[in-house]
Structure 1
Amino acid sequence: MDEQARRAERFEEHRPRLRGVAYRMLGSLHEADDAVQEAWLRFSRTDTGGIENLGGWLTTVTGRLCLDMLRSRSSRSEEPLEWHVPDPVVSPADGADPEQEALLAESVGLALYVVLETLAPAERLAFVLHDTFAVPFEEIGAILGRSPNAAKQLASRARRRVRAAETTPDADLADLAGQRAAVDAFFAAARRGDLVALVAALDPDVTLRADAGAGGLSALVGGAAQVAGRAMMFARPEARVHPVLVNGAAGVVVTVDGRPVSVMAFTVAGGRITAIDALGDPARLASLRLPHFPS
């Protein structure tokens, strides 16, 4: 085996972790793959003889690349004014495959990624690398060009914002059966046109974030009555609802004539739905790796 082949083999051992880092940082599967590919190119051109911790070195390189991509994204203001839902990772209802499990790192639901989108690039990097991937603040500070204490403060600030958004506390993330029961009750009520039952399935402070893409009808809706009313308004008799996992939590793919028209992720707490994140952007849906659904 030649040197380049050995390098490629060593890199592949770390690819799942690096892709998980990049996805957490960027919220985009395509951009995450771009960042990991660029990390490979840098690794392939670097003398790594003196690197004692290759995994740590590659994580640092990937984190720095993602930070640059986030800063470039912010400077170009390329996100639409409407609500943006990150790329979901969609798995069959019976579980994610090993590649997807490595990508998700842990089952936290899509709602956390929505909150991460609101963080400043430096905050997001400090929080993701430390809280999810246990990168020391000394290394995070080196990436950011700041002191370890400053990196720790950034992570702490991000952590407070995540907790304030209530994406994970009290959410029934480990109870898939309970999540699925709440989601099934929601759609059963919508099919019957039962507004009272719809409201009962929702937390009073539920939030619906809908991303329809450029030119679509994106929205941020709050309150059980408003969200239930929107669900009734957009109920389509020809639509089929397919149970799936979205970022490790209960979700659905909605199809019409076998064509995906929406991916919906749900956050459930206390048996009620507290958040719905819906992606209906046709271009982004076409780029996702979705399970096969019959027409």
Structure 2
Amino acid sequence: MIDYLYLGRVAYDEGLRLQAEIAALRLESRVDNILLLLEHPPVLTLGRNARRENVLASDELLAQRGVSLHEINRGGDVTYHGPGQLVGYPIFDLRSLQNAKGGRLGPVDFVRMMEEALIRVCGVYGVRAGRIAGLTGVWCSGAVSGDDAAQHSRKEKDRKIGAIGIHVSRGITSHGFAFNVTTDLRDFQLINPCGITDKPVTSLEREVPEGVKVPGLEEIALQAARQFGHVFGQQVLAVENLDALRALAAAKTQTRAEDTPLEVPAEVKRLHGDPEPPARA
């Protein structure tokens, strides 16, 4: 089971706090696998393998542009989040999932399946996307047209539409993906995205065929949740809001407590040969 929530725009600090809260609930099996879908204000994040020189803007320029910077524990290098970008945080227990061979799903398999889900989202809107060997993420390829053709050389025809970086602790995943929908791609000039200098970024808005309208983030979030369900072979249910999710967790905790007997039932005592308690007067 995958429960998903679309949260709209969420400050990055709050996103980190929510991930920690829900990861703790998932570890205790108080919630099912959770897919948080949201959007962040402008922010740069530095993963465990990040090099500070891949942030091209000075601290002063970032401050002027209202862009915050965070060092975090996901894999990967530097990434940009901002308006018009769908961010997904799957808080999944890898032990609840299986790979194609029926074995336990590992982190690499998990990333590949996330890529597949985003590739399928692209396909819904007529955009051909895929993988590049040795580079994590989702890429569009083929000829570029119009103004783009003048800006990009032949070797730059692979364009990144989705970035992925995760963290796994005690089998529970956090962080996830950033999928450019109507993102202002000029903001990526602040960084070398994921440390890659020879391949540009793109967005769904830029890649869709002529005449195809790109819907709002909430509809894209719904498509992403559906594709996660297909790829992971799980039923997907929408949760209305965080309060509803917390209520589900509290109800499951209460149910577990009520299922625990306060004393050993008499029938079990008899099976173990324990003497019957004396009758009350």
Task: Provide the TM-score with structure 2 as the length reference.
Answer: 0.23
Task: Provide the TM-score with structure 1 as the length reference.
Answer: 0.22
Structure showing the higher strand proportion among its residues: 2
Bigger radius of gyration among the two: 2
Structure showing the higher helix proportion among its residues: 1
